[in-house]
Amino acid sequence: MNTAKQYTFNPDYSVHPGEILGETLRARSISQSELASRCGISEKHVSQIINGKASVTSETALLFERALGIRASLWMNLESTHRLHMARKAEQERFASFYDWAKEFPIRSLAERGWLLSTGSKEERVRSLLDFFGVSSPAAWEAQYKKLAVTYRKSLAFTTSFKAIAAWLRIGELKAEDIETRPFNKTNFRRSLYRIRQLTYLDPSEFEPRMKELCREAGVALVFVPELPGTHVSGATRWLSSDKALIVQSLRYRTDDHFWFTFFHEAAHTLLHSKLAVFVDEGSEDASGEEARADEFAANLLIPKARYDKFVRIRPISRARVLSFAKELKIAPGIVVGRLQHDGVVPFSWFHDLKRTFIFAEEDVS
């Protein structure tokens, strides 16, 4: 995890101020009725405090200070410490009852990546999950995450877990907190996309820092988060604020054609669509509406439609022509191959060796 582990002392007991009050009266040989008389309150109220059935209020603490010479702050500190302890005890019981809810998340994978506790009681692991999401309870989680306007590209092959998606997105959000971006500027981001397009020939070690910096300067935090079990997601886009967008990629498909298409597809959402929406993309062929527009944007930015149409009209499509066309466009040949295969111009078995497989350093960290 990117944050330092916090260690706090939480004793498993507390002392009600009434216990201290009773001991004080016995030590000074003061009866409950005498204290009540000195303070101008009922003997019943004093008895209730001593027996832990009533709290010490700030007014009562001041009365005890005058009658016993023990500062009101001591009584109030005892009272607040006891109340906090009892609240924690009740919370522990509630958290333990939330464990079935917590198990619906990929908690093992999150723990292996360092985002959650890997050991501990049910209550501790639930607490760790709630801390990860920054919410106080499952009900608060539902209110926070279910209200998001999530647009899915529905996969025909996989069933997606909404809770796994939320966890995957949360990792992206936490990573983005450490990325200081300039205020988002649509014009600058469009320019950045054309500069990033020129990086497709490079290896990840070269293009990754450069594309992230170009995004950052335009107001977009770009992070790579490997898939979690149950996600089957290629990428996602959401706005962290009105001036800061987030693009998350999973590297689900490791070949360069999928990688670059996913990036430009997500970039399209930041340029074309509402800042209130969250787009989670699973790479389905059944795209419509906003997703279809994002697909069109990515396809045409990578390979302009007029030039692509002219290229495919001339047959046969040979390896040499693919390489020549890619060089002419100044993009990686794998991108051309992926487009041809996707459109059914060539079989998926053709020119596969022209695609590159990417491995990123971030796949090995949380």
pLDDT tens, position by position, 112-158: 999 998 888 888 899 999 999 999 999 999 888 775 534 444 443 44
**Token code pair at residue 298:** 């990515």
Residues 164 and 296 in one domain: yes
Pick from 269, 215, 211, 276: which is nearest to 237 by CA? Answer: 269
Any domain includes 313 = no
Residues 120 and 214 in one domain: no
Could you tell me if residue 310 is inside a domain?
no
Integer angstrom CA distances of residue 71 from 77, 336, 358 = 10, 80, 68
- The domain tally of the chain equals 3
CA dist 309 and 330 (Å) reads: 17
Q: Structure tokens of 273?
A: 């669509």
Question: Is residue 62 in some structural domain?
Answer: yes
The SS3 of residue 9 is coil
**Contact criterion met (CB below 8 Å) for 70 and 24:** yes
Does a structural domain hold residue 266?
yes
Q: Considering the entire predicted model, what is its pTM?
A: 0.79
Q: Which of 262, 287, 304 is the last residue of a domain?
A: 304
SS (H, E, C) 174-218: HHHCCCCCCCCCHHHHHHHHHHHHCCCCCCHHHHHHHHHHHHHHC
Average pLDDT over residues 342-355: 94
Q: Are residues 290 and 180 in the same domain?
A: yes
> Do 108 and 199 share a domain, yes or no?
no
In which domain, by residue range, is 56 found?
17-96
Say which residues have a Cβ less than 8 Å from residue 195's Cβ, sequence separation at least 6: 214
39 lies in the same domain as 107: no
From 289, 304, 319, the end of a domain falls on 304
Residue 310 — pLDDT band, cuts 50, 70, 90? very high
Name which of 312, 317, 335, 180 is nearest 244 in CA terms: 180
Please report the pLDDT score of residue 359 as a whole number.
76
pLDDT tens-digit series, residues 24-44? 999 999 999 999 999 999 999
pLDDT tens digits, one per residue of 170-218: 999 999 999 999 999 999 999 999 999 999 999 999 999 999 999 999 9
